[in-house]
């Protein structure tokens, strides 16, 4: 059985593209992973990477047998089968899982997962598409949308902030966004201070409302 989860172990349910990528990344980061997958072919494929148990997590008894209660964090990678996704999430809620991250394939699917108790809902396909669209349509180098309209972007600085310190460009007052970090060529990333100078070759990290960020990036 897994150790009690002060040790950071994560239960990953479903080893499709999302679940397997998630579990593999956690494994590479040195996190303990237990994966549950009902497809024997997928179990065989990933058994050399991390600990896997062939089990159907839509069955509450199966979750009990594998010691799911010993985990505090679970990731539901089941997404394409709506009924299975909902059942697995509901079973995790019933056992008192402290953090449930669940994959959704649509906004309506996500709303259902949240209503039954998922703490975090992710939309891998939608988020990837939105991220690329923002990068293609503007000057952004990278784009991460958080929740409630808040985003973080990586970009080259607009001309009207180049050559000025943060306190001089007054980006927050003028545009409603915040430059939180800067990477200058040949120098490590640094968090900004009022005295931080922004050069034309720098890469800046900016946070704020998604629409305001879009306007700032497209100046």
Q: Are strands 73-76 and 99-103 parallel, antiparallel or unpaired?
A: parallel
Check residues 128 and 70 and name the one with the higher pLDDT: 70
- Residues 16-43, mean pLDDT to the nearest whole number: 89
Strand locations in the chain (E) = 10-13, 33-37, 51-54, 73-76, 99-103, 120-122, 140-145, 150-155, 164-165, 178-183, 190-191, 197-198, 203-209
Same domain, 117 and 207: no
Place of tokens 């549950």: 36
Structural domain boundaries, residue 196: 127-217
In angstroms, the Cα distances linking 18 to 4, 21, 186, 208, 209 are: 25, 5, 35, 28, 28
Same domain, 22 and 57: yes
Token pair for 179: 């430059």
Q: Per DSSP, what are the bridge partners of residue 75?
A: 12, 101
CATH code for the domain of 162: 3.30.70.1450
Last residue of a domain, one of 63, 90, 122: 122
- Residues 10-37, mean pLDDT to the nearest whole number: 89
Give the tens place of pLDDT for each residue, 113-138: 999 999 988 887 766 666 666 565 55
């Amino acid at each position: 059985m897994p150790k009690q989860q002060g040790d950071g172990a994560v239960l990953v349910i479903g080893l499709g593209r999302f679940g397997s990528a998630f579990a593999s990344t956690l494994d590479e980061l040195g996190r303990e992973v237990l994966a549950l997958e009902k497809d024997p072919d997928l179990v065989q494929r990933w058994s050399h990477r991390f600990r896997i148990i062939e089990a159907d997590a839509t069955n509450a008894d199966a979750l009990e047998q594998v010691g799911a209660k010993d985990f505090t964090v679970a990731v539901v990678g089941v997404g394409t089968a709506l009924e299975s996704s909902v059942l697995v999430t509901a079973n995790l809620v019933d056992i008192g899982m402290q953090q449930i991250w669940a994959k959704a394939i649509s906004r309506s699917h996500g709303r259902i997962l949240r209503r039954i108790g998922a703490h975090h809902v992710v939309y891998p396909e939608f988020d990837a598409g939105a991220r690329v669209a923002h990068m293609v349509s503007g000057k952004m180098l990278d784009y991460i949308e958080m929740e409630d309209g808040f985003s973080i972007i990586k970009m080259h600085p607009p001309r009207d902030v180049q050559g000025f310190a943060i306190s001089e460009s007054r980006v927050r007052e003028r545009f409603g966004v915040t430059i939180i970090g800067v990477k200058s060529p040949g120098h490590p990333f640094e968090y900004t201070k009022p005295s931080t100078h922004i050069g034309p070759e720098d890469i800046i990290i900016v946070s704020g409302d998604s629409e305001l960020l879009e306007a700032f990036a497209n100046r």
